[in-house]
Chains A and B, each alone.
Chain A
Amino acid sequence: MTSYLDRFPLFAGLAEADRRLLEQVLVVQDFPAGHVLFREGDHAAATTAPTWLILDGTVRVQARAPAGGWGLDRTLPPGHFVGLNALLTDLPRSATCTTASPVTLARLDRVTLEALLRLDARAHARLHLALARHLAGDLRDLSARVTAAFHAGSEEPLRAVQGPAGTGA
């Protein structure tokens, strides 16, 4: 039997046993279309602010550009996630996430991580290594884009309205 986490590139480096263990502590929830998961600028309670893993349906991620309009506007399918910042930092939400269709999501928060730690400290450590790999990839992509713009002496490479594949938000 496969784990629903198998489809997430974020967890690709985890052994199947670790994915199954993580499944035990995740809470799966359904939401209708048009449900606001969180808003840009929200400060959420540190321990329970969720990261949402998209199991079914799509989620729209939008962030305003300081100059007006949307600087980020993309819709994410299953296998992606939103809200990782809340798991790892105390920063306010960097985007608004709204369900674009009826969705099934799995909730990951600091309470969940504590539950995983109690179950298996090594699996907990390996999950954090997977998160580190993911963030390293995001930093690499961002610095490559900004460096390319710097070399070109132009903001043009940065102007596309998009965002990283799995968003922090």
Chain B
Amino acid sequence: MSDPLVQSLGPDGAARMRPWLATVQLPPGSHLLDEGERSSTLWFLLDGEVSICLLADGAPLEVSRRGPGSWLGEVAFFDHGPSTATVVATTPVVVARIDHAELAALEEADPQALHALLGVLLRQMAERVSQGSSGILEAAGPTVRVRKPAETRSWLRQVLDGLFGGTGA
């Protein structure tokens, strides 16, 4: 079975980053992130599955599911704002994590490791911004067809899935 961290960062990047990542096992139902709460942790899913949910009318609405090889919590981690979604383990999961203090230490001790990590994350984030922006363009323009509400929600759920790192399918 291939190593998700090697698949994500390449062999050299994974070897450089591994000493800086703490690995932990969590049971189903564990919250990695809570919408609206500040987080100083970047997560990497090594095994298992998580559900990404938004609060809708006070109840959680799933917008995406993610599996091994997924980075989670990037937005709150890099812009120091509140988490944009709740991330919950739907199975037992094995996750690696790094926090702000460790990232600062990494920047000083091994900038090449940081470069390997950021190269991957920047590409993924830029792709999500691009695809999300293109998705939103479907609603724009003077001659756009007006969708029915149920159709709108279905379409927007796909856009949200893409924004949160899914395929947007």
- Chain A residues with CB under 8 Å of chain B are 63-72, 84-85, 88-89, 91, 94, 117, 121-122, 124-126, 128-129, 131-133, 135-140, 142-147, 149-151, 153-155, 158-161, 163-164, 168
Which 4 pairs from chain A and chain B are nearest by CB?
A65-B141, A71-B140, A71-B137, A136-B79
Q: Which of B11-19, B23-31, B91-99, B150-158 contacts A (4 or more CB under 8 A)?
A: B150-158
CB-CB < 8 A to A137: which residues of B?
79
A66 and B138 contacting across the interface, CB-CB below 8 Å:
yes
Shortest CB–CB separation between residue B9 and chain A, in angstroms? 14
Provide the B102-123 mask, 1 if CB < 8 A to any CB of A, else 0.
0000011001101100110111
- What residues of chain B lie closer than 8 Å to A84, measured between beta carbons? 126
CB of B78 to closest CB in A, whole Å:
4
A122 touching B126, Cβ below 8 Å: no
Question: How far is the CB of A168 from the nearest CB of chain B, in Å?
Answer: 5
Can you give 14 contacting A-B residue pairs, CB < 8 Å? Answer: A63-B137, A67-B140, A89-B127, A121-B115, A128-B122, A132-B121, A140-B79, A146-B156, A146-B163, A147-B54, A149-B152, A150-B54, A150-B153, A164-B129
Closest to B125 in A: A135
Asked if B5 is at the interface (CB within 8 A of a chain A CB), the reply is no
Q: What are the residues of chain A within 8 A of B79 when measuring CB–CB? A: 133, 136-137, 140
With both chains docked as a complex, state the minimum distance between the C-beta of B55 and any C-beta of chain A, in angstroms.
9
The answer to whether the Cβ of B130 comes within 8 Å of any Cβ in the partner chain is: yes
Q: Inside 8 A of A168's CB, which chain B residues have their CB?
A: 126, 129-130, 133
Q: Please, which residues of chain A bring their CB within 8 A of the CB of B76?
A: 136
B159 in the interface (beta carbon within 8 A): yes
What CA separation (Å) do A112 and B136 show in the bound complex? 32
How many whole Å from B159's CB to the nearest CB in chain A? 5
**Contacts of A144 on B, CB cut-off 8 Å?**
84
Q: Confirm or deny: B60 has a beta carbon within 8 angstroms of a beta carbon on chain A.
A: no
A144 CA to B83 CA in the complex, in Å? Answer: 11
What chain A residues lie within 8 Å of B56 (beta carbons)? 150-151
Given A140-B81, A154-B149: A159 and B130 within 8 A (CB)? no
Measured CB to CB, the nearest residue on chain A to B159 is A146
Task: Known A143-B84, A158-B136; judge A128-B114 contact (CB<8 A).
Answer: yes
Collect the chain A residues with CB atoms within 8 Å of residue B126's CB: 84-85, 88-89, 91, 135, 168
* Contact, CB under 8 Å: B122 / A150: no
CB distance from A144 to the nearest CB of B (A): 8
A121, closest chain B residue (CB): B111
B143 contacts chain A at the CB level, 8 A cutoff: yes
Apart from the given pairs A67-B144, A158-B140, A168-B130, 16 other A-B contacts in the complex at a CB distance below 8 Å = A65-B137, A65-B141, A65-B144, A68-B141, A88-B123, A89-B123, A122-B108, A125-B111, A128-B118, A133-B78, A140-B84, A142-B129, A143-B164, A151-B56, A160-B140, A164-B129
Can you name the residue of chain A whose Cβ is closest to the Cβ of B115? A125
Instruction: List A contacts of B130 (CB < 8 A).
Output: 85, 89, 91, 94, 168
